[in-house]
Structure 1
Amino acid sequence: MPQTRPRVALFVTCLVDLYRPSVGFAALKLLEEAGCQVEVPATQTCCGQPAYNSGDRMTTKDLARAVIDAFLPYDHVVAPSGSCAGMIGHHYPGLFADDPHYRGRAEALGAKTHELVSFLTDVMGVERVAARYDGVVTYHDSCAGLRELGVKAQPRRLLAGVDGLSLKEMAEPEICCGFGGTFCVKYPDISTRMVDDKAKDIAATGADTLLAGDMGCLLNMAGRLKREGAPVKVRHVAEVLADMTRDAAPIGEAKA
Structure 2
Amino acid sequence: MRIALVATCLADALFPGVAIATTHLLERLGHEVVFPADQTCCGQMHINTGYLDEAVPVVRHHVDVFDPAEFDVAVAPSGSCVGSIRHQHAMVARRAGDTDLERRAKSLADKTFELSELLVDVLGLTDVGAYYPHRVTYHPTCHSLRMLRVGEKPLTLLRNVSGIDLVELPNADQCCGFGGTFALKNPEVSTAMLADKMSDVLATKAEVCSAGDSSCLMHIGGGLNRLRTGVRTVHLAEILASTRSAAPRAADSQATTVTV
TM-score band w.r.t. shorter chain:
over 0.9
> 1:245 offset after TM fit, Å?
4.2
Give me the TM-score of the superposition, normalised by structure 2.
0.92
Q: What does residue 3 of structure 1 align with?
A: none
Q: What does residue 256 of structure 2 align with?
A: 253
Give me the TM-score of the superposition, normalised by structure 1.
0.93
> 1:189 offset after TM fit, Å?
0.6
Are the equivalent residues in 1 in contact too, given 2:17–2:253 (CA < 8 A)? Answer: no
Structure 2 residue matching 1:133: 3-state secondary structure: coil
1:18 aligns with 2:21: no
Determine the C-alpha separation between the residues in 1 that align with 2:102 and 2:132.
44
* Residue type of the alignment partner of 1:126: L
Determine the C-alpha separation between the residues in 1 that align with 2:114 and 2:13.
19
Determine the C-alpha separation between the residues in 2 that align with 1:100 and 1:39.
28
Determine the C-alpha separation between the residues in 2 that align with 1:189 and 1:221.
15
1:32-47 mapped onto 2 (5 Å cutoff): 32-47=27-42
Aligned length: 249
Determine the C-alpha separation between the residues in 2 that align with 1:62 and 1:210.
36
Once structures 1 and 2 are overlaid, which stretch shifts more, 29-38 or 78-87? 29-38
- Identity among equivalent positions (%) equals 42
Are the equivalent residues in 2 in contact too, given 1:22–1:247 (CA < 8 A)? Answer: no
Determine the C-alpha separation between the residues in 1 that align with 2:249 and 2:12.
16
1:197 aligns with 2:196: yes
Determine the C-alpha separation between the residues in 2 that align with 1:14 and 1:178.
20
Once structures 1 and 2 are overlaid, which stretch shifts more, 153-162 or 194-203? 153-162
Determine the C-alpha separation between the residues in 1 that align with 2:144 and 2:247.
23
Alignment partner of 2:84 out of 84, 87, 90: 87
Residues 3-50 of structure 1, C-alpha deviations (whole Å, 9 max, x = no match):
xxx221100000011111111111012222333221000110000111
Q: What does residue 75 of structure 2 align with?
A: 78
Structure 2 residue matching 1:234: 3-state secondary structure: strand
* Residue type of the alignment partner of 1:247: R
Determine the C-alpha separation between the residues in 1 that align with 2:197 and 2:155.
19
* Residue type of the alignment partner of 1:78: V
Are the equivalent residues in 2 in contact too, given 1:140–1:211 (CA < 8 A)? Answer: yes
Are the equivalent residues in 2 in contact too, given 1:43–1:70 (CA < 8 A)? Answer: yes
> 1:60 offset after TM fit, Å?
1.1
